Amino acid sequence: MNDPVTGDLILVLNVGSSSIKLAVFDSDLTETLTGIAEGIGGAGHLKLGSVKTVQDFPDHDSALQAVLSGLEVNGLPFSRFRAAAHRVVHGGTELTEPARVTPGVIAAIDRCLELAPLHNPHNLAAINTLARLVPGLPQCATFDTAFHATNPDVAARYALPAGIEARGIRRYGFHGISYASLVRHMPGLTGAALPGRLLALHLGNGASICAIRDGRSVATTMGYSPLGGMTMGTRTGEIDGNAVLRLAEEDGIAATHHLLNKESGLRGLSGGLSDMRALMEADTAEARFAIDHFCYWAIRHAGSLIAAMGGLDAVAFTGGIGEYAAPIRARIFQGLAWLGAQMNEAANTRNDTRLHAKESAITGWIVPAQEERMIAADALRLLNATQP
């Protein structure tokens, strides 16, 4: 692992609380390998490509070392890598662009730990561990909040005193890497320029919507944390602050945190199901209501975001639900019929790229999520910018 760094591959790492996801890209941004180390904190497994091995991962450090060893076994020693690129969840107000990792960037990520206590510590630990294991390897970071840094202050500020806002209590928005990727790749899929007023829906277990005006985020549904906005797989979405205070007073902060983030949303409404496929297959009254709730709030939030853009030219769906759940897309797109949106039902059923009917006043599209490729592209751009 101490070979000189002379290669041209990019290793993308997405480090979570119990897993490390990875992808390898060449200099043309072609994905050559994917993998995951799962089960950190106990008995787990490492999967690289189609090969899966059972291993113990007592901590993130051991899991990352296993990833590096596994890559070497697969003919990918670190002499073949030009850089490692990390998904970092929170960049706060300081880190609003992808960045080469420097001591200053590490310090700035550290200052964001309280803003993303379940993610940033692991993201930062991976950066520090990799720096120790492969000290000559350049590292880059792309921040999930950065795309929304272009939101105006009236969208980002809560109506709180300045002293509270100074403590970091403001709207940040998330899924920014997904939206940045969508902006980058959509023209190549549609064969046309990026629409001026684009409503982008990242629909999965976590779900949000973004108003994109001339390629820049001007409003989004998630706020201080990923809890806000839409009904999600296990998160409440919007809920009155006084309701949260009552729950915390009666049930305790830890129980309320678990309820709002892990036991609510589609799971709470349906009585246990958080996966959209399972909900559609269940076809119970509770499952149908959960789906109704998801679609209703998607359409209702969409109306607010359309107002923030001053109109609408196109809708783009991404994420697992957005790309594959045709009935959900149909309901949301049809909820915009008052703007002249008309769906091509056959195209929607086939999950075609183009979803709208010929006579539709609003275009509709599926844009597959390519977050890892976006992170690799950011790293290559940063590396090339520093070349003599």
Q: Name the amino acid, one letter, at 312.
A: L
Q: Name the amino acid, one letter, at 12.
A: V
Catalytic residue selected from 61, 144, 275, 292: 144
CB 302 within 8 A of CB 362: no
CB 265 within 8 A of CB 259: no
271's torsion region: left (phi>0), alpha (psi -120 to 50) or beta?
left
CA distances from 30 to 6, 347, 375 (A): 19, 28, 13
* Measured distance CA(213)–CA(191) in Å, rounded: 19
Per the annotation, the verdict on 283 as an active-site residue is no
CB 38 within 8 A of CB 67: no
* Measured distance CA(13)–CA(123) in Å, rounded: 9
* DSSP 8-state code for residue 95: -
Q: Strand 207-213 and strand 197-203: pairing?
A: antiparallel
How many other C-beta atoms are found inside a 10 Å radius of the C-beta of residue 383? 18
Tokens linked to 342 = 């008309």
CA distances from 359 to 231, 330, 356, 363, 364 (A): 31, 16, 8, 10, 12
* Measured distance CA(52)–CA(167) in Å, rounded: 44
How many other C-beta atoms are found inside a 10 Å radius of the C-beta of residue 58? 12
Active site residues: 144
